[in-house]
């Protein structure tokens, strides 16, 4: 018999269902087993005494295979998603017994919810939770919607190298890698490569893993994160921001359409965001009015939070960013400003971007101002000597966007196997 997923079973059919024991209870004459697969939970019932020995040996989360007749439900439980039917068990096969669980996973035990660090120690068990599953199903839709949006825009998906010769962001947070007789670094971003590609492919995108050796442990930083990158030729900062605004709106819309059941599990309601543009100077003025401190050339966490409160459900683009606060590749705008921007959504930075420098001599000058050696960037600088057009782009953090869409406070919750200062396993 072919397997049927729980959300597909129909009254009157004999089915083979496979999944995990969500919960078990029983009396001397009847046993109840709630079976869960990735699509839902259904009640299974046995009154066959010859099966009771197997029931007695089972613990929650064991993997089982059940055949049975789908009947109208007699008892309706809150926990099941198939409320109108139940399965009268004909055969019950244990595929693998679960040992006693190291963490609590059933939704009804919410009050006992384990500390996140313990859940992450046992992420493979935590992934049995329906709310954890919902997060990663939504993240999958987010990635799918990003790709779909980009392809509709006519952008070409690119795969960029992860081992590179020098810092791509100018910072010092680098992981060195022994590359034969040379020392290379793990990529901080695909910045230089997406620019070089866009200067002939015109519109490019990538989902790219970045490594940042930041020493601090915060709720919003990972040491290994994912970015959705975009770069467009013959364009300035305004063009790139407009694309990002539509992209985030599309992603949220698709999640609302495709993941309604998952959003229900997470008890989260979404609204397609609006888009707002402000200069850095306007934001600084607004923060002074609200007595919120921020830097001369960067926002503070408090300023981002305040923007989220003042403009809920809005992607706020903060542009005309002070030149000193942006990396070497961002195009200057006059002496002190730049064509760089950040996007703040629900109180947190989700994206940085800007128009880039496509003029080799200016690039060399900016590298020197930032204390970087142009010799380390030779092929990147040279790439702009052969008709490189003006271009712009952005990078959005996959985990940051997921947490902000879902209103989740700790970035580790939305990272399948997070890497932070203290965590290398599982
Ligand atoms: P930036 O370094 O600002 O810009 O990164 C872009 C976005 O990526 C996410 N992000 C992170 N998420 C989690 N942990 C981290 N350590 C981390 N670092 C970054 C954030 C951030 O807004 N090359 C430029 C982008 C561009 O100009 O196109 C860049 O990497 O959401």
Measured CA to CA, the distance from residue 127 to residue 133 in angstroms comes to 6
Q: Scanning the structure block, which residue is given the tokens 């050796």? A: 213
Residue 232 in contact with residue 203, Cβ under 8 Å?
yes
The verdict on the CB of residue 346 being under 6 Å from ligand 1 is: no
Q: DSSP alpha helices (H): ranges in 153-190? A: none
Which ligand 1 atom is at minimum distance from the Cα of 343?
A: 22
Q: Assess whether 288 carries a catalytic annotation.
A: no
Residue 186 pLDDT exceeds 90: yes
Ligand 1 centroid vs 329 CA: distance in angstroms?
A: 14
Residue 233 in contact with residue 199, Cβ under 8 Å?
yes
Pocket probe for ligand 1: among 155, 158, 192, 225, the residue whose CB has the most ligand atoms within 8 Å is 225
Measured CA to CA, the distance from residue 238 to residue 390 in angstroms comes to 13
DSSP 255-278: HHHH-HHHHHHTT------EEEEE
What tokens does 223 get? 């040491």
Summary mean pLDDT of the chain: 95
Reported in sequence order, the residue ranges of 255-361 that DSSP labels E, i.e. its strands, are 274-279, 314-319, 332-333, 337-338, 340-345, 348-355
Measured CA to CA, the distance from residue 243 to residue 245 in angstroms comes to 6
Q: Assess whether 349 carries a catalytic annotation.
A: yes
Q: Report the candidate in 246, 224, 150 with the shortest Cα–Cα distance to residue 419.
A: 224
Residue 112 pLDDT exceeds 60: no
Mean pLDDT in residue range 332-338: 98
Cis check: omega of the bond before 226, within 30 degrees of 0: no
Quickly state the pLDDT bin for 113 (edges 50, 70, 90): low
Mean pLDDT in residue range 278-294: 98
Ligand 1 centroid vs 6 CA: distance in angstroms?
A: 40
Residue 110 pLDDT exceeds 80: no
User: What would the pLDDT profile of 76-106 be if each residue is shown by its tens digit?
Assistant: 778 899 989 999 999 999 999 999 999 988 6
User: What would the pLDDT profile of 199-227 be if each residue is shown by its tens digit?
Assistant: 999 999 999 999 999 988 899 999 999 99
Quickly state the pLDDT bin for 336 (edges 50, 70, 90): very high
pTM above 0.75? yes
Share of the chain above pLDDT 90, in %: 91
**pLDDT in the model for residue 425:** 96
Quickly state the pLDDT bin for 278 (edges 50, 70, 90): very high
The verdict on the CB of residue 23 being under 6 Å from ligand 1 is: no
State the catalytic residue, choosing from 147, 221, 246, 421: 221
Residue 272 in contact with residue 249, Cβ under 8 Å?
yes
Q: Measure Cα distances from 299 to 150, 225, 325, 346, 356 in Å.
A: 29, 21, 10, 15, 21
Residue 197 pLDDT exceeds 90: yes
**pLDDT in the model for residue 107:** 54
Pocket probe for ligand 1: among 210, 215, 413, the residue whose CB has the most ligand atoms within 8 Å is 210
Q: Assess whether 86 carries a catalytic annotation.
A: no
**pLDDT in the model for residue 329:** 98
Residue that wins the pLDDT comparison between 161 and 82 = 161
Q: Report the candidate in 172, 219, 145, 97 with the shortest Cα–Cα distance to residue 370.
A: 172
Mean pLDDT in residue range 43-63: 96
**pLDDT in the model for residue 167:** 86
Residue 111 pLDDT exceeds 80: no
Q: In this structure, which residue's CA is closest to atom 19 in ligand 1? A: 397
**pLDDT in the model for residue 323:** 98
**pLDDT in the model for residue 108:** 52
């Amino acid at each position: 018999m072919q397997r049927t997923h729980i959300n597909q079973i129909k009254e009157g059919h004999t089915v083979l269902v496979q999944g995990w024991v969500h919960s078990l209870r029983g009396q001397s004459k009847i046993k109840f087993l709630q079976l869960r697969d990735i699509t839902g939970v259904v009640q299974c019932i046995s009154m066959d005494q010859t099966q009771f020995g197997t029931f007695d040996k089972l613990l929650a989360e064991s993997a089982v295979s059940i055949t049975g007749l789908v009947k109208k439900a007699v008892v309706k439980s809150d926990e099941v998603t198939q409320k109108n039917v139940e399965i009268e068990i004909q055969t019950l096969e244990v595929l693998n017994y679960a040992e006693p669980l190291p963490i609590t996973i059933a939704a009804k035990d919410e009050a006992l919810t384990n500390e996140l660090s313990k859940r992450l120690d046992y992420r493979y068990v935590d992934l049995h939770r329906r709310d954890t599953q919902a997060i990663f199903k939504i993240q999958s839709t987010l990635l799918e919607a990003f790709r779909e949006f980009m392809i509709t825009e006519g952008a070409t998906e690119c795969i960029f190298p992860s081992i590179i010769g020098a810092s791509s962001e100018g910072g010092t947070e680098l992981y060195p890698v022994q590359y034969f007789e040379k020392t290379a670094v793990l990529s901080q971003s695909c910045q230089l490569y997406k620019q070089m590609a866009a200067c002939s492919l015109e519109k490019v995108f990538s989902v790219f893993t970045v490594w940042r050796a930041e020493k601090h442990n915060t709720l919003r930083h990972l040491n290994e994160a994912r970015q959705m990158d975009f770069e467009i030729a013959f364009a300035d900062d305004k063009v790139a921001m407009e694309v990002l605004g539509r992209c985030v709106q599309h992603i949220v819309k698709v999640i609302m359409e495709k993941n309604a059941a998952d959003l229900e599990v997470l008890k989260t309601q979404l609204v397609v965001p609006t888009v707002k543009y402000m200069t850095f100077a306007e934001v600084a003025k607004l923060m002074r009015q609200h007595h919120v401190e921020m830097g001369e050339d960067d926002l503070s966490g408090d300023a981002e939070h305040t923007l989220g409160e003042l403009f809920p459900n809005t992607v706020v683009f903060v542009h005309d960013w002070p030149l000193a606060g942006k990396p070497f590749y961002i195009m200057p705008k006059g002496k002190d400003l730049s064509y760089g921007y950040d996007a703040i959504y629900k109180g947190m930075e989700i994206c940085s971007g800007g128009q880039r420098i496509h003029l080799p001599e200016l690039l060399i000058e900016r590298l020197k101002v930032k204390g970087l050696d142009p010799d380390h960037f030779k092929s990147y600088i040279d790439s702009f000597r052969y008709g490189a057009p003006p271009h712009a782009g952005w990078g959005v953090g996959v985990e940051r966007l997921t947490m902000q869409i879902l209103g989740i406070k700790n970035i580790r919750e939305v990272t399948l196997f997070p890497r932070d200062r203290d965590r290398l396993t599982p």
